[in-house]
């Protein structure tokens, strides 16, 4: 999904009064499925828009997104895709991604000009 679709979904969610979470890969090392700048929007009522790579790494980001919504504070999450090479896990890419996870709150009437 193209990033403009993520931004359109973000605008729709805030206008509809839904809190969402925006996850952005800010740095990578080694072999990773997506690179810095890749984004994923987590809308608890509508699901995922975009991807930061899928699999176990994306599951870690989803778990952290719940904490971000509850605490109302952003966080930086290190996603390590470096399981043992003997593992059958699809997460064995060999790299590391740092993902910035930030809550996006809905518009309030007082926020509008």
Of 95, 103, 11, the closest CA to residue 52 belongs to 95
With tokens 């504070």, the residue in question is 73
pLDDT tens by residue, 10-65: 999 999 999 999 999 999 999 888 999 999 999 999 999 999 988 888 999 999 99
CB 78 within 8 A of CB 96: yes
Indicate if the pLDDT at residue 9 is higher than 70. yes
Average pLDDT, integer, range 78-88: 70
Q: How confident is the model at residue 94 (pLDDT cuts 50, 70, 90)?
A: confident
Report the distance separating Cα 26 and Cα 15, nearest Å: 27
Q: Which are the contacts of 66, defined by CB distance < 8 A and separation ≥ 6?
A: none
């Amino acid at each position: 999904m193209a990033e403009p679709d993520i931004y359109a979904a973000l605008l729709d969610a805030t206008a509809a009064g839904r809190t969402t979470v925006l996850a952005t890969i800010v740095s990578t090392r080694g072999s990773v499925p997506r690179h810095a700048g890749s984004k994923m929007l987590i809308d608890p009522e509508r699901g995922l828009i975009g991807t930061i790579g899928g699999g176990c790494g994306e599951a870690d980001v989803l778990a952290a997104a719940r904490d971000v919504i509850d605490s109302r504070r952003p966080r930086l999450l290190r996603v390590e895709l470096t399981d043992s090479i003997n593992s059958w896990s699809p997460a064995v890419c060999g790299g590391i991604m740092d993902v910035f996870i930030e809550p996006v709150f809905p518009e309030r009437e007082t926020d509008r000009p």
